Amino acid sequence: MTDNCFPNLPRRRFVQGLVSGSVALSLGLPGAVVAGPGTVYGTQSPATLTGTEFDLVIDETPVNFTGQSRMATTINGSIPAPTLVWKEGETVTLRVKNQMNKPTSIHWHGIILPYQMDGVPGISFAGIAPGQTFTYQFKVQQNGTYWYHSHTGFQEMTGMYGAIIILPGQAESAKADRDFVVQLSDWTDEDPMAVFAKLKQQSDYYNYNQPTVRDFFADMSRYGLSDALAMRKMWNEMRMNPTDLADLSASTLTFLLNGQPANGNWTGIFKPGETIKLRFINGASNSFFDVRIPGLKMTVIAADGQDLEPVSVDEFRFGPGETYDVLVKPSDDAHTIFAQSMDRTGYAKGTLAVQAGLSAPVPMLDKPQWLTMEDMMGKMQHAGHSMDGHAQHQSAQRGEHDKHKMHGAMAMDHSQHKMAHNPLRKPSQSVRHARTEYGPSVDMRLDMPRTNLDDPGIGLRDNQRRVLTLADQRSRADVLDDKRIPDTEIELHLTGNMERYSWSIDGLEFGQSTPVFMPHGQRIRVILQNDTMMTHPMHLHGMWSDLETDNGELSARRHTIPVQPAQRISFLTTPHDLGRWAWHCHLLFHMDAGMFREVVVA
């Protein structure tokens, strides 16, 4: 570890590549840089804390990323929170004091621990009341890159997140001369509750990439008048938007890298010839990022803290909750770390340089792409952009009794499905819709999802860059230690209604659903089918998610798995720890709107 991972630099508002106003406001925080007119200050740079005992204080702190002073939720006064460095095999004690006048919590994302230490209010503990100090204590059973954040309300969105580095008990598997955390996040000056209320009233409120007349003429030129009209008619009748890639955009969000907007130019200093390890963490509340370092290949060596067989790429996409470790070897004095939002409305950036003050060219934002019929309907063929897909959708919306009977095996809730032909060597390909999906909370159901893992996702297809996919990820042989074939299969569908901005699992929002039961110590297959048109990063607390192919071949160990639109994906898990656990989409508003389940291991 180096000591210069978090240099103190001025921070400035940067949205869509434009610097806004020149409002100067010093907050007088320790570690802040006193600079000339036009400088806007954030919080102090985070500390790096090492050892086995830690004291963390949660409070509200004024910050200014945009020229407007706002209150943030901070840990030890900084955004991000202090980077915690642990060591595998040791027991850590973390005393967390709440100095706010509202409850709070900390969840240790991806960490295997007793459920009482998991930090989810209402599931694993009561939360941390105002003025209270809660002591977390557990043995560290893993190594790699992880993070921590609040699991209370929208506090994560207001700044309460930080990095965790766990050093291995033995030697590092990949050597590097320099080691930096790169934590990406998003910030809004608006009250998150007000943002959420706007989405409930109008789900595309922040989507400024709406289809235009120019787009229609482009479609007409490419496909012909009748097909262009049919496409537009289909989207309109389904009350869906082909540009609805993200709930929030740079119209309200400022994208941050290590707590700094793009013009803050966070800089990691290196010496020529060095190999650098970058620990990328997506700590955003509602944003996917597409990350690249123009001119440099990245060798991906770990995902979600777990070692991978190295794979060389130009770019990777990751959603909230995911982490990737990469190795790079700079070839110039300065290189730009460029992370554009999936909807292409803004970006975060930083610099790798041989000295402070240097910068490198920043690429233009890619042009946003529309969702395709495959993103909406899976494996269905849509020659000539026919309306067959729409007809099937309308049929599903009517909830035809005959179709429902075709899924007779699902007359009961399918959330726990014991197969008669155990053991299961391959994941089931037979789609089973629960009866609870046939209601106002669900506007789409898929009967022919796709199961491929080699799709980089909308906006990254055929971009002439080598983009990481789930199919590229293979855990090292010693990581996937449970080779048992499962005899239990659980199928859950990720569901929603965009017009109502309702998100759910099997059509049931949290509060209406019953817990998913997992037998202690058994090997279990989980199938997640995304019946919506948005990608959901699904995070299962307290246990690993061992991704598998549609042929049942184990591939990579993860704790957060992004499930693309119209995709059916499966993983194996072994619940080693008894207790109550959370399972949810890590897009904060999707989780709060209902895409959340409790898991009981008994």
Residue type at 253 in one-letter notation: L
Residue type at 412 in one-letter notation: M
Lowest mean pLDDT among 20-29, 265-274, 523-532, 548-557: 20-29
CA 514, distance to chain mean position in Å, is: 25
What pLDDT, in 10s, does the model give residues 542-555? 999 999 999 999 99
> 5, 114, 121, 130: which is closest to 59 by C-alpha?
130
Q: Are strands 289-292 and 579-585 parallel, antiparallel or unpaired?
A: unpaired
Between 42 and 433, where is the model more confident?
433
Give the model's confidence band at 498: pLDDT under 50 very low, under 70 low, under 90 confident, else very high: confident
Residue 80 CB neighbours (<10 A): 27
Report, as an integer, the average pLDDT of 98-117: 98
What pLDDT, in 10s, does the model give residues 133-168? 999 999 999 999 999 999 999 999 999 999 999 999
Predicted local confidence at residue 397, as pLDDT: 36
Predicted local confidence at residue 395, as pLDDT: 35
Give the model's confidence band at 179: pLDDT under 50 very low, under 70 low, under 90 confident, else very high: very high
Between 498 and 351, where is the model more confident?
351
Between 277 and 174, where is the model more confident?
277
List Cβ neighbours of 268 (8 Å cut-off, separation of 6 or more): 4, 5, 178, 180, 182, 276, 278, 350, 351, 352, 353
The DSSP symbol for 104 reads B
> 161, 101, 89: which is closest to 129 by C-alpha?
101
Predicted local confidence at residue 220, as pLDDT: 61
The first and second tokens of residue 379, run together, are 């494996």
Report, as an integer, the average pLDDT of 269-289: 97
Return the half-sphere exposure (C-beta side, CA atoms, 13 A cut-off) of residue 526: 26
Question: For the stretch 118-130, what's the b/e string if a residue is b when 16 or more beta carbons lie within 10 angstroms of its beta carbon?
Answer: bbbbebbbebbee
What pLDDT, in 10s, does the model give residues 428-475? 999 999 999 999 989 999 999 999 999 999 999 999 999 999 999 999
Decide if 103 contacts 152 (C-beta within 8 A): yes
The first and second tokens of residue 32, run together, are 């802040």
What pLDDT, in 10s, does the model give residues 564-602? 999 999 999 999 999 999 999 999 999 999 999 999 999
Alpha carbon distance 231, 226 (integer Å): 9
Alpha carbon distance 29, 50 (integer Å): 23
Model confidence, pTM: 0.85
SS (H, E, C) 363-396: CCCCCCCCCCHHHHHCCCCCHHHCCHHHHHHHHH
The DSSP symbol for 485 reads P
Report, as an integer, the average pLDDT of 214-228: 64
The DSSP symbol for 486 reads P
Measured distance between the N- and C-terminal CA atoms of the chain, rounded to whole angstroms: 40
Residue 201 CB neighbours (<10 A): 9
Report, as an integer, the average pLDDT of 274-280: 97
Residue 16 CB neighbours (<10 A): 14
Predicted local confidence at residue 153, as pLDDT: 97
Predicted local confidence at residue 44, as pLDDT: 58
Provide the sign of the torsion angle of the four alpha carbons 142, 144, 149, 151, taken in this order: negative
pLDDT for residue 30 is more than 60: no
pLDDT for residue 37 is more than 90: no
Decide if 568 contacts 450 (C-beta within 8 A): yes
pLDDT for residue 275 is more than 50: yes
Lowest mean pLDDT among 11-25, 308-322, 386-400: 11-25
What pLDDT, in 10s, does the model give residues 288-308? 999 999 999 999 999 999 999
